Chains A and B, each alone.
Chain A
Amino acid sequence: DIQMTQSPSVLSASVGDRVTLNCKASQNINKYLNWYQQKLGEAPKLLIYNTNNLQTGIPSRFSGSGSGTDYTLTISSLQPEDVATYFCFQHNSWPLTFGSGTKLEIK
């Protein structure tokens, strides 16, 4: 199975900050990497698919990059409504696997 490691596990930042979340796969996942946002008490929401494709309706302050085993989600200017846990997810090979999440907080 491909292991997905996210860092940091908790991130605290100020409104307006540029924020970067990291995800590392245990082997090459060929850019088949998605990012999901989960707010407290809600279902996950797709933000980015296949590394850098913004899902319809998602604000442009969210962007993704990466290749091989290393991927990042960037929020260009953190907003209060971005408080959530963010999960990466690989769909390169079965079984599909999620990272353990990064909890994003506002300072």
Chain B
Amino acid sequence: QVTLKESGPGILQPSHTLSLTCSFSGFSLSTYGMGVSWIRQPSGKGLEWLASIWWNGNTYNNPSLKSRLTVSKDTSNNQAFLKVTSVDTADTATYYCAHTRPTGPHYWGQGVMVTVSS
């Protein structure tokens, strides 16, 4: 059974760096074809794919966030991480991590709400 859970600061100030952790079970990020994606959703709005990291270390970021995104993984501890630098109010959203295969995101975490406010 695949499960994922996101954790993060809840609230942070503009210009700071957002750090999120995805802790998962039921699969390994060292297994061929496995990946983790990050997706966010502002309240009442649509979904935005942010980044994906794969079993082989390859990463893909959404260029709409320019170079603000960094995704990484700790295979031994079954965790993936997302950092977003220079946050502003537009980054306020629920952030999800999702177990990803070549067929796309399959299982999603419950999401973590992040508010950017001074």
Mark A residues whose CB is within 8 Å of B: 1, 32, 34, 36, 43-46, 49-50, 53, 55, 87, 89, 91, 94-101
Contact = CB atoms under 8 A, between A and B. Distances in A.
Interface of B: 37, 46-49, 52, 60, 62-64, 96, 103-111
Contacts of B108: 43-46
Given A43-B96, A95-B62, A95-B63, A101 B106 contact: no
Q: Is the interface of A mostly helix, strand, loop or mixed?
A: loop
Contacts of B96: 43-44
B48 A98 contact: yes
Contacts of B109: 43
Nearest to B108: A43
Contact of B46 (A50, A94, A100): A100
A63 to B, nearest CB: 17
27 contacts: A1-B64, A32-B104, A34-B104, A34-B105, A43-B109, A43-B111, A44-B47, A44-B96, A46-B108, A49-B104, A50-B103, A55-B106, A87-B47, A89-B105, A94-B60, A95-B49, A95-B62, A95-B64, A96-B52, A96-B62, A96-B104, A97-B49, A98-B46, A98-B47, A98-B49, A100-B46, A101-B46
Contacts of B106: 46, 49, 55
A46 B47 contact: no
Contacts of B49: 89, 95-98
A53 to B, nearest CB: 8
A91 B35 CA distance: 13
Contacts of B60: 94-95
Contacts of A34: 103-105
A95 B63 CA distance: 7
A36 B37 CA distance: 15
